[in-house]
Amino acid sequence: MKRIQGGKLPFIFLFAVFWISIQSLPAAGAVTPTMIIEEAKFAIEQARKAGAEMKALEDLASAKSWLARAEKEYAAGKTIISRARKMVAEDKGREEEIIYLGTMAKLKGMTAEAKARKQDVSEKVKTAGRDLADYQSAVSLLQKRGAEAEKVKEGRAQAEKERQEFEEARRKAAEMEAIREKELQEARLQEAKRAVERERELGEAKLKAEQMAVARAKEERETKAQEEKFRELKKKTEALERKQSLLADASRIPQATVRTTEKEVIITILAINLFTPANEVKPAGKSVLDGVGSFLQKYPQNTVVVRGHTDSQGSPAANEAVSEKRGQKVREYLVVDQNIDPNRITAQGLGPTQPVATNTTEAGRALNRRVEIAVQTEE
């Protein structure tokens, strides 16, 4: 009969158990740390009963190590929970870590049990094989003695006795062979059942781990989306606060009116309050621009556009030149006398193209002759 060799489990089987065990984290909501720790303890106890302390000590020790780590994390998690769950995300991560460690302990325990039982089967097969060999040797000896009995003709009684002994030995050998075959079949059946059960449990563990990974990825996406929304809201809130601060400070500038657009705070000063008939900044206008300069120094990060405007009296080209000169005069005063960075301030002449009042009356034309200092609130 062909003997089954005892010893180590096939390399491919051990590799499969190890590979699947790495991926076998339970799904969120399916198990709890307490449940998985108890399952791991049960698996380790089953391995110990199967003789793993003698036949699979390394795997048993690994299972106990994983279990100890899981219990340590669980104890630490209880301490954190007793502090009123300050960090929910941290507690959830710790729970997942405990489930992972417990699952690894359980799988290592199952592996240790499988190795121990495999070695038991191999030892039984070896013992049965040795017993069969002994009986076969006995049969061979009896055959030899029977032949010698025939040869020397010691007598019918002796020959009959030896024949009966031979038959008895053959019967016992047949019985031993039947017993050995039955035990071997039972061992194979039990091993097959355990392999199917392990495969089922490992498959379930892998599925749960995949489900947990999907849930975790979804949660991370949702968290990132919420964080991005919060950052955007914070950015808009800060921009609004800065704009309100700009508006409040600009409103304090004498002889100026202030309005806002989506991207600008616009300070409007009538030309009559700024310029002489020769379009030079007059002393009273300098006082107004000093207030503008103090305001701009408070907000050095904002760029500025000075826009000169005229009424519609005269030619468009002349009006455009006048508005350009007025804008440049205001820019020059702010740069030279108020030390405003020249790189952050520009000037434009728009002539009569953007009136704010009618040009048919003197009052309307006076409103159109103006300088706008536009402070950019968004880059």
224 & 266 share domain = no
Question: pLDDT value at position 84?
Answer: 45
Give SS3 for 219: helix
In a domain, 241, yes or no: no
Residues 198 and 283 reside in one and the same domain: no
pLDDT of residue 22: 46
5: in domain: no
Q: Are residues 197 and 331 in the same domain?
A: no
Q: How far apart, in Å, are the Cα atoms of 134 and each of 107, 144, 162?
A: 41, 15, 18
- Whether 163 and 29 share a structural domain: yes
Tell me, what's the pLDDT at 315?
A: 94
Contact (CB, 8 A) for 10 and 130 = no
């097959």: which residue's tokens? 192
- Predicted confidence at residue 151, as pLDDT, reads 81
Instruction: Give Cα separations from 51 to 41, 123, 308, 340 (angstroms).
Output: 16, 13, 97, 87
- Model confidence pLDDT, tens digit, residues 168-177: 888 888 888 8
Model pLDDT, residue 252: 92
pLDDT, residue 79, reads 63
| Interhelix angle 57-82/88-152, nearest 10 degrees | 160
236 is a domain residue: no
- Would you say 356 and 368 are in contact if contact means Cβ atoms under 8 Å apart? yes
Same structural domain, 57 and 183? yes
In a domain, 238, yes or no: no
Q: What is the pLDDT of residue 7?
A: 45
Q: Is 252 exposed, middle or buried (CB count within 10 Å of its CB: 0-12, 13-18, 19+)?
A: exposed
Q: Mark whether 269 and 125 lie in a shared domain.
A: no
Q: Which ranges of the chain have pLDDT less than 50?
A: 1-11, 13-26, 28, 80-84, 86
Residue 272 belongs to some domain of the structure: yes
Examine the fold and report which residue of 174, 196, 230 is the final residue of a domain before the chain moves on: 230
Give the structural domain span for 262.
251-376
239: tokens are 């921009």
- List of residues 6+ apart from 378 with CB closer than 8 A: 239, 262, 263
Domain boundary among 196, 230, 264: 230
Instruction: Specify whether 204 is located in the same domain as 136.
Output: yes
Q: Which residues contact residue 359 at a Cβ distance below 8 angstroms, ignoring those fewer than 6 apart? A: 311, 312, 313, 352, 365, 368
Examine the domain organization and report whether 224 and 264 are in the same domain: no
Secondary structure class of 348 (helix, strand, coil) = strand
- Inside any domain, residue 243: no
Cβ 139 vs Cβ 173: under 8 Å = yes
pTM over 0.75: no
End-to-end Cα, the chain, rounded Å? 89
As a whole-number percent, the residues of the chain with pLDDT over 70 amount to: 85
Q: Domain of 314: which CATH number?
A: 3.30.1330.60
Residue at a domain's end among 230, 263, 294: 230
Write down the pLDDT at residue 206: 85
How many domains would you assign to the chain? 2
Question: pLDDT digit string (tens) for 138-176?
Answer: 768 877 877 776 786 777 877 788 888 888 888 888 888
